[in-house]
Amino acid sequence: QPGNTRVLPLGPQAIDEAARLIAEGWPVAVPTETVYGLAADATSGAAVARIYEAKGRPSFNPLIVHVPGLDAARRIAHFDPMAERLAAAHWPGPLTLVLPLREAAGIASLVTAGLSTVALRVPAHRAMRALLAAVGRPLAAPSANASGRISPTRAEHVLASLGGRIPLILDGGLTALGLESTIVAVDGEGLRLLRPGPIDLGLEPTARGRIEAPGQLASHYAPAKPVRLDATEAAADEWLIGFGEVTGDASLSPSGDLVEAAARLFDALHQAEAAPRARIAVAPIPDTGLGAAINDRLRRAAAPRPETT
């Protein structure tokens, strides 16, 4: 567990140390050209769960996946001609594209919060680029602040917000832009501005005349079957997702580990959705730490559709 948070000035040794920690499954704070990100291995559900744990985020929002270039991005998502044009014009840089996720792309389901789309960005900052090269894996990275706090533009901001909760902060001084990346969804219907940011594409707000705010996505993944919470036993027509002592048909974590449970949550919901039972039941999850975020998501999954966000 990270007890002391070290702050290292940017340099080859600091990048090596950050890459080593990320390979071990820890999130590390790293500057980008927009704001400091809290980066972890996007292919590891447990590593991504530790991002949420460190931020104390009370719910799971999908995270941006950072990759070194367009080739790596194409291995993760489907690019139509419009997406290709945007990437060619603005990458590396502060533009995030939300695109259809490829099957077997290897991205942990907790990164996309179970959605069939993925947010991708090729950062321009030398620290994030060096880290991507050293780790050799895509990095999921939300802003490196505790939940509900403003995004950090200096290592000192990260330390004040997440000190004691993460092992390492790479100090690259003040970030150049200080504002999170522009987020655009590209799908068959064209472009939708999900978050305004440093890159102005001249997009109007969405057709309904509003911009979808981060974390308020209309497109939360929800299973297409009724979900019953706090179940200790399954009815005949229920697939029971277990936790701890409740074994169920499949368990989020037999040992009652919340990091493991968070990492498996969306895979477990998809598995339950595909199972030959009409309903889904879920064992009680303690409401402490990451459990609060798991329960938030489970309550949304169990809420009547269309759900409110």
Q: Does 258 bind ligand TXA (CB under 6 A)?
A: no
Q: Is 133 exposed, middle or buried (0-12, 13-18, 19+ CB in 10 A)?
A: exposed
Amino acid at 12: P
Is 219 annotated among the ligand-binding residues? no
CA distance 99 to 6: 36
Q: Is 9 exposed, middle or buried (0-12, 13-18, 19+ CB in 10 A)?
A: exposed
User: DSSP states of 66-78 as a string?
Assistant: E-SSHHHHHHHB-
The CA-atom distances, in angstroms, between 183 and each of 200, 201, 261 are 10, 10, 29
Is 141 annotated among the ligand-binding residues? yes
Stretch that binds ligand TXA, among 131-139, 175-183, 201-209, 269-277 (CB under 6 A): 175-183
Stretch that binds ligand TXA, among 213-221, 233-241, 281-289, 298-306 (CB under 6 A): 213-221
- Between residues 216 and 247, which has the closer beta carbon with respect to ligand TXA? 216
- Between residues 14 and 64, which has the closer beta carbon with respect to ligand TXA? 64
Q: Select from 84, 204, 215, 274 the one that contacts ligand TXA (CB under 6 A).
A: 215
In 3D, which of 194, 250, 215, 173 has the Cα closest to residue 10? Answer: 173
CA distance 20 to 135: 8
Q: Does 27 bind ligand TXA (CB under 6 A)?
A: no
Q: Select from 112, 143, 253, 295 the one that contacts Mg ion (CB under 5 A).
A: 143
Q: Is 221 helix (H, G, I), strand (E, B) or coil?
A: coil
- Between residues 99 and 283, which has the closer beta carbon with respect to ligand TXA? 99
Q: Select from 22, 48, 98, 265 the one that contacts ligand TXA (CB under 6 A).
A: 98
- We find the least distance from the C-beta atom of residue 61 to ligand TXA, in angstroms, to be 4
> Which residues lie near ligand TXA (CB under 6 A)?
32, 34-35, 37, 61-64, 94, 96, 98, 112, 115, 117-119, 121, 141-143, 180-181, 183, 194-195, 214-215, 217
